[in-house]
Amino acid sequence: MLKVSIIGAGSEFTQNIVVDILTIKGLDEGIIALVDLDAERLDIAHQLVEKIIEKIGKKWSVIGSTDRKKVIADSDFVINQIEVAGLHTVKLEYEIPLKYGVKQCIGDTLGPGGLFKTLRTLPAWLAIVKDIEELAPNATILNYTNPMSAVTLATTKVTTIPVVGLCHSIQNTSNDLARYLGIPYDELKWRAGGINHMSWFVELTHNGKDMYPVLREKMKDADLLAQDPVKFDAMQYLGAFVSESSGHFSEYIPYYRKRQDLIDKHCSTGYNGGTGFYANSWPTWRKENDEEIRRKLTGEDEIKLESSDEYAAVIIEGMVKNEPKVIYGNVLNQGLIENLKPDGVVEVACLVDRNGVHPTRFGRLPEHLAALCRTNQAFFELAVDAALNKDKEMAMHALMVDPLTAAVCSLGEIKAMFDELYEAERSYIEI
């Protein structure tokens, strides 16, 4: 019987993923195993999944525990969506760098926030991987936890269990591009590759016509430009549209957040680059997510059975039913993109069938785009190796090569910032 374990079941992703899995035609029975260290959030997630099963009417069951060893055995798929000590650290990882002039919008992938999230996430996650090896050695790991590239890279370094990192930035961005261009989504063709949150749409066509001249013309509309300000601006100079939000992307390169006048010019609020957006919003989002689940449990809010654009169920359906699928996944490069680190993680189109996830060869990125990706790959490599080797100096070097931090601070200032963050969070990290 098919078994899917979800680690970090209190996450907002759980409802969408479970609905997606349970609405797969022909998968009429199975087990959903939920794990979360927070007993209260685990309980409401468990109740929610029970209601989804009841509403769909299939012979699935749900089990749950705060002790993963009690429920993950013999899983076919393990979905990782953990958050480690986020409530206690999100403000620290924003406010301390702010003192040094580093103004983050999201801070969960690169920069000071991304580094320390890596350092506090990996020890917990790698302990989970060890248990997966022991209890579910035939599983496939589907990772949703950020920093996506770092978590996926670390997993490949410690286990041979198949792992693919899953994001929604390719789906969201391709939908955005169709909307910006005013053409049906199913008619838009593209070719994209790079790294997570920095995949480049190097080709964009409609009925054989290059859409980039059209997009450049349309972005002259101030209202359209305001919908994705950083990414449109970067496209003018770099020649390709990039995945993820403008706010995320503004942190991954050195051009947009190193001075307040640049932030004022190119960034606006929320996911379009608002300074402190994630740190100031995340605790509220978490509370609101729990409240929304409780309203669904009481019947005050409806549980909708609409399919999402997440890839987890697509992979499960493709492998279990042997129906060929295409997803964009984060996997070891190994020559897939020739001018990126061969032992780094890249985001490329992947084929899925009963034998698993098969990445496809991309070729070469335009060199200037590859160079921007390689800098970020170096950050991930240093951060991951620092966590694996418990090497504090290597972690500091990761921050020193971070594009935004280096654009704002001197080496001495970066060391001072790192030391202050380390002292503030030393109880949550293991280096």
Q: 274: which residues sit within 8 A by CB, 6+ positions away? A: 105, 247, 267, 268
Vertex 213 angle, CA 209 and 218, to 5°: 115
**Bridging pattern class, strands 140-143 and 77-80:** parallel
Q: Percentage of the chain surpassing pLDDT 90?
A: 98
Mean pLDDT value across the chain: 97
Instruction: Count H helices and E strands in the chain, helices first.
Output: 17, 13
Vertex 367 angle, CA 365 and 372, to 5°: 90
Task: Record the tokens describing residue 428, joined without a space.
Answer: 């949550």
Kindly report the backbone phi and psi dihedral angles of residue 163, in degrees, each rounded to the nearest multiple of 5, phi listed first.
Answer: -140, 140
Q: 208: which residues sit within 8 A by CB, 6+ positions away? A: none
Residue entry with tokens 């599983």 = 139
Contact (Cβ atoms closer than 8 angstroms) between residue 414 and residue 396: yes
Residues 364-378 have pLDDT tens digits of 999 999 999 999 999
Whether the pTM exceeds 0.75: the reply is yes
Q: What is the pLDDT of residue 405?
A: 98
Residues 32-61 have pLDDT tens digits of 999 999 999 999 999 999 999 999 999 999
DSSP secondary structure letter of residue 187 = G
Q: What is the pLDDT of residue 89?
A: 96
Rounded average pLDDT over 324-328: 98
Q: What is the pLDDT of residue 135?
A: 98
Task: Record the tokens describing residue 14, joined without a space.
Answer: 């759980």
Domains of the chain (ranges; CATH) run 3-84+109-164+305-313 (3.40.50.720)
Residue by residue, DSSP assigns 223-234 as HHHTTSHHHHHH
Q: What is the pLDDT of residue 351?
A: 98
Q: What is the pLDDT of residue 235?
A: 98
Q: What is the pLDDT of residue 371?
A: 98
Report whether the peptide linkage leading into residue 184 is cis, meaning its omega lies within 30 degrees of zero: no
Residues 6-24 have pLDDT tens digits of 999 999 899 999 999 999 9
Q: What is the pLDDT of residue 24?
A: 97
Rounded average pLDDT over 161-170: 97
From 3, 359, 8, select the one nearest 164 (Cα to Cα).
359
Q: What is the pLDDT of residue 198?
A: 98
Conformational region of residue 306, where left means phi above 0, alpha means psi within -120 to 50, and beta covers everything else? beta
Q: What is the pLDDT of residue 37?
A: 97
Q: What is the pLDDT of residue 126?
A: 97
Q: How confident is the model at residue 168 (pLDDT cuts 50, 70, 90)?
A: very high
Q: Is 83 helix (H, G, I), strand (E, B) or coil?
A: coil
Kindly report the backbone phi and psi dihedral angles of residue 81, in degrees, each rounded to the nearest multiple of 5, phi listed first.
Answer: -145, 45
Q: 234: which residues sit within 8 A by CB, 6+ positions away? A: 242, 249, 253, 255
Active site annotation includes 88:
no
d(CA 243, CA 249): 8
Residue entry with tokens 């997009």 = 215
Residues 98-113 have pLDDT tens digits of 999 999 999 999 999 9
Burial of 323 (0-12, 13-18, 19+ CB in 10 A): middle
Residue entry with tokens 């995949």 = 199
Contact (Cβ atoms closer than 8 angstroms) between residue 117 and residue 421: no
Q: What is the pLDDT of residue 61?
A: 98
Residue of 168, 197, 248, 266 marked active site: 168
Q: How confident is the model at residue 92 (pLDDT cuts 50, 70, 90)?
A: very high
Q: What is the pLDDT of residue 218?
A: 97
d(CA 231, CA 241): 6
Residues 206-257 have pLDDT tens digits of 999 999 999 999 999 999 999 999 999 999 999 999 999 999 999 999 999 9
Q: What is the pLDDT of residue 238?
A: 98
Cα distances (angstroms) measured from residue 345 to each of 165, 194, 348: 9, 9, 10
Q: What is the pLDDT of residue 224?
A: 96
From 240, 238, 222, select the one nearest 177 (Cα to Cα).
240
From 423, 131, 119, 105, select the one nearest 246 (Cα to Cα).
105
Rounded average pLDDT over 310-336: 98
